[in-house]
A = this chain, B = another copy of it.
Amino acid sequence: MTIRWTLPIAAALCLPAPALADTHIDNIDGISIDRDGTVDRFTGMVVDEDGRISELLDFGDRPTRDIDYYVDGEGGVVVPGFVDGHLHVMGIGLGTLVLDLSTTRSLNEALSRIEAYAAAYPDRPWIIGRGWNQEVWGMDRFPTAAELDAVVPDRPVWLERVDGHAGWGNTLALRAGNVTAQSTDPTGGRIERLPGSRAPAGVLVDAAMPMVAGQIPPPLPEDRDLALHNAQQLLLSHGITAVADMGSTIEDWMTFRRAGDAGRLQMRIMSYADSVDTMLLIGGPAPTQWLYEDRLRLNGVKLYLDGALGSRGALLNEDYEDDHGNRGLPLLSGTQLRNLISRAALDNFQVAVHAIGDAANRDALSAIEQLSEDYTGDRRWRIEHAQIVDPADLPRFGQSGIIASMQPVHQTSDMFMAEARLGSDRLGGAYAWRSILDAGGSLAFGTDAPVEPVSALAGLAVSISRENADGVPEGGWRPQEVITREQALAAYTAGAAYAGFAEGRFGRLAEGERADFVMLSADPLVSDAQAIRNIQVLQTWIAGRRVYDLDTPQN
C-alpha cells in the first residue's frame, strides 16, 4: 500500500501522520460485513479528519469532497480490523515479560527451559512463567514440585497452566505460600497431594492458587506499561484493532489510562472489571464514557461462575467422566450470582458471566432469564466461553437475546480433553456455534489470549472446519457445528463490537464508523481453512492511520 502525498511535500512533512485531514484510500478489494453476515464489497473509502469513514466508493466512484491525502491500496484485500471479544490484555503483555512454556512439547523440554531461564536471570527473586499443559506433554498427571526443585532449588518458581486455572510451584514457592500437609483446600480450590499422602504435590487449582501467587512481588509500574505496549504491538501485528478485556483489575485500568493520556493507546479496549467493586471504583454510578476517541470504555463486569475443563474446575451437571465424585468447583452460589448481576445491572453496567461447564451455563442462563424481568431494555447479557451447554439449554440463548462470547480455537485445543472429561454422550452442546446461531443467539468471537495464541485468523479457520492446525480430525470434530466464513468473520468483527455496545463506532467498514482495517494477503471469504491460517496480516490501520506494517520492523 503506497501513500502518496497530494499536499506539497513541505506542508505534508509538518503533519505527524496521515488522516489529519480527508484521506482517500483507493484501489482496494474492500470487504465489510454486518453482524448477520451480509457482505458489502467496495473499492475505496474516504476517511475524515476524525478517522471516521465518510464514504465507501465503488469502482469508478469519485470522492464527493476534497481530498488531502491519497493512498493507493494496490488492489489489496481489506477487511475490518478484528475485534477480539474475549482476551486478557495485561495477561498477554505481562506474559511477554515472563517465561513462556506454551510451546513446550514435553516435561523435560519445559524443565530445561526453566533451568536455562533461571540461569539467565540470576537477580530475579522469583522465576515466573506460564503456558504449560500436561495434556500436550502427554502426561496423565500434573507435574510436581520435586521435578521443579531438580532444576531450580534456590528460588521460588511459580508457573501458571495454559488456562490460568492451575499453578505449579517448587518447594520454595509452596513454602512461601505456607502450603503444607496441614493446609486444607480452600473453597473453590484444590491443593494437589502426593499419592497416598496429604503432602502438597506442587500444583494448586483455582482458588488455591492465590496461596502462592499472592506471595509474588507485583509487577513494577514500568513493567505494566511495557506489558501493555508489548500486548498492543502483538495484537496489531495480528490485525486485532479492538478487544474486550475480560477481568480488568484496577491496576490494568490505570495502565490503560496512562497509555491513553500519553497518546500511546492505539487499539480499542472494551473493559470488563474483575469484580463489582472494581467496576464501581472505575465507573462510579455508570459505565464510563468512551474515552480517547472510542479507544477505551468500561462496559461492565466479568463474573466467574466456574473454572476450566482442563483443571476439572468447570461446573458439570454430572460427575466428570474421568474423576467420579467431582462435578467441578462452583465459584458463586446462585444467590451470589444474582446479587452481583443485580448490582451491576442496577446502574446499567453490562454483565459478562464466565460459564464453561453445562451446569454453569444452565445457572447463568437461569439467572439472566430471571433478572431480565427486572432489568429490561438493551442489556446484551454475555456468557463467556459457553463451552459445554446441555443441548436442552441451547435455545435459551436465543430466547433471551444472550450473547455467546466464544473462542473458536478452544474447540480444537480442548476437543479430546472434553471427550475425556465428559464422555462423548454429553457433548451435544459443546462449542455449539451453529446451534446457537440457529437458535437466534448472537456470537462474539475471540481468542482468550494468552490462554490461546493471539490470532483471529486461526479462529476463523477453526470456525469453518473444526479442524486444528494439523487438519485433525479430518472433516472436523462434531462438524455439524461449523459456521460459514461470513458468519465467522462477522462474529470476529461486527458481532464482537455489538457485544461491547460499540456498533456504529467500529467493527464494520461503514459510513460513520472508525476506519479500522486490516490489509490481508488473501481474501478469507474465498479461502479454505488451511489457506486462512496462512493468510498474512500485511498492514493494520486504526482511525485511518497505519499502526502496523509487516515490512517495517517493530520496536
Contacts and interface: CB of A to CB of B under 8 A. Distances in A.
Interface of A: 220-222, 224-225, 250-251, 254-255, 257-258, 261-262, 280-285, 288-289, 291, 347
A258 B257 CA distance: 12
Nearest to A222: B285
B250 A262 contact: no
Which of A221, A222, A255 has the most C-beta atoms of chain B within 10 angstroms of its own C-beta? A221
A285 B228 CA distance: 13
B261 A282 contact: no
A264 to B, nearest CB: 11
Which of A261, A284, A347 has the most C-beta atoms of chain B within 10 angstroms of its own C-beta? A284
4 tightest Cβ-Cβ pairs between the two chains A and B: A221-B284, A222-B285, A221-B285, A261-B289
A16 to B, nearest CB: 18
A263 B254 CA distance: 19
8 contacts: A221-B284, A222-B284, A224-B284, A225-B285, A250-B281, A251-B281, A257-B257, A261-B288
B221 A283 contact: yes
Contacts of A255: 284
A300 to B, nearest CB: 14
Given A250-B250, A281-B250, A281-B251, A258 B222 contact: no
Given A250-B281, A254-B284, A281-B250, A261 B222 contact: no
A262 B289 contact: yes
B225 A284 contact: yes
Contacts of A347: 221
A120 to B, nearest CB: 24
Chain A binding site: helix, strand, loop or mixed by DSSP? helix
Contact of A254 (B220, B258, B282): B282
Stoichiometry, as copies per complex, reads 2
Contacts of A291: 261
A337 to B, nearest CB: 22
A289 B261 CA distance: 7
A221 to B, nearest CB: 4
Contacts of A222: 284-285
A105 B375 CA distance: 50
A215 to B, nearest CB: 17
A251 B284 CA distance: 9
A352 B220 CA distance: 23
Contacts of A251: 281
A282 B250 CA distance: 9
Contacts of A220: 285
Contact of A258 (B224, B258, B288): B288
A281 B253 CA distance: 10
Contacts of A282: 254
A275 B291 CA distance: 27
Contacts of A285: 220-222, 225
A288 B285 CA distance: 24
A281 B220 CA distance: 10
Nearest to A292: B261
Nearest to A259: B284
Contacts of A225: 284-285
A282 B257 CA distance: 9
Contacts of A224: 284
A320 to B, nearest CB: 40
A291 B251 CA distance: 19
A283 B281 CA distance: 17
Nearest to A290: B261
A311 B280 CA distance: 35
A64 to B, nearest CB: 25
Contacts of A283: 221, 258
A251 B280 CA distance: 9
Contacts of A254: 281-282, 284
A225 B286 CA distance: 11
A221 B283 CA distance: 8
Nearest to A257: B257
